[in-house]
């Protein structure tokens, strides 16, 4: 893992086409802005985890409900 220190307005460029900008720092919260080509999907890890957990939960017939 690469760990960087950035200030508001500073940008990190990933693979020449993805930019991560520090938009705001407020106490313990950091607001980031992302610019990427349309083909690049950007997701928050907690949303992906939540979707995976929901997909694993049995529903309807799978849960034995008829």
For range 9-14, the mean pLDDT? 97
At 1 the three-state DSSP class reads: coil
The predicted pLDDT at position 66 comes to 52
From the list 29, 55, 32, 28, the residue with the least C-alpha distance to 42 is 32
Q: Write down the mean pLDDT value for the chain.
A: 89
The predicted pLDDT at position 10 comes to 98
From the list 42, 37, 6, the residue with the least C-alpha distance to 22 is 6
Q: What pTM, to 2 d.p., does this model score? A: 0.71
**Contact predicate 19/32, CB 8 Å:** no
The predicted pLDDT at position 62 comes to 56
pLDDT in tens, 16-32: 999 999 999 999 999 99
């Amino acid at each position: 893992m690469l760990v960087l220190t950035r200030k508001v307005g500073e940008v990190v460029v990933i693979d020449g086409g993805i930019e991560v900008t520090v938009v705001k720092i407020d106490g313990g919260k950091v607001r980031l802005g992302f610019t990427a080509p349309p083909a690049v999907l950007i997701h928050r890890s907690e949303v992906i985890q939540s979707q995976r957990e929901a997909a694993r939960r049995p529903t309807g017939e799978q849960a034995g409900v008829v």
